[in-house]
Structure 1
Amino acid sequence: MTPQQKRTLDYVRAYHAEHGRAPTMQEIADATGVKAKSQVSRQLNTLAEYGFLRRTNHFSGKYVPAEVPAVDLAHVPTETLRAELDRRQTESAR
């Protein structure tokens, strides 16, 4: 693993632990000193190939630490999902 890949992995892990979600490519670039998001994308793909990260889904292109368990939302009650969305909207309005 290169030093830049290590910085990227450490940042993704710390960000996810603090915020409960994956950072954007721009956030990763800003935090790790990378100028191009395409370079961040290559690093994320490589870290996923090595098994350190996994994609949350193919639409968003976000990556989370591999040790974070996947959540199957099909088994989460609708009311629980709505309550979480309401909580996040209230939190982001602050």
Structure 2
Amino acid sequence: MPLPRLEFNINDYMLPCMNKKLLGVDCPGCGIQRSIALILQGDFSGAFQMYPAIYSLLFLFAFVAVNYFYKIKNAGKIITALAIINVALIMTNYIYKFI
């Protein structure tokens, strides 16, 4: 008798946005979970369409991780610049949603 196949759907385990649930308005982070899920499924353009700042955020986190293990010269300035770029992208996307 074959074992039953278990189906795993990542969308069933995503956390709801409390801001959207309570106030009915998207927050600046709305879409990031689905965007990561799309990357894991290999849909890279869909991930960008869902949350345009996803790749710059991944680059920032990768840079911070590499800097943790291998100290990079002027890393503080680079991380600050990447963080400012990410905040600008996130806020631009957030404002664009309401237009």
The alignment's TM-score, normalised by the length of structure 1, stands at 0.27
Structure 2 length normalisation: TM-score? 0.26
Q: Highest Rg: 1 or 2?
A: 2
Select the structure that is richer in strand.
1
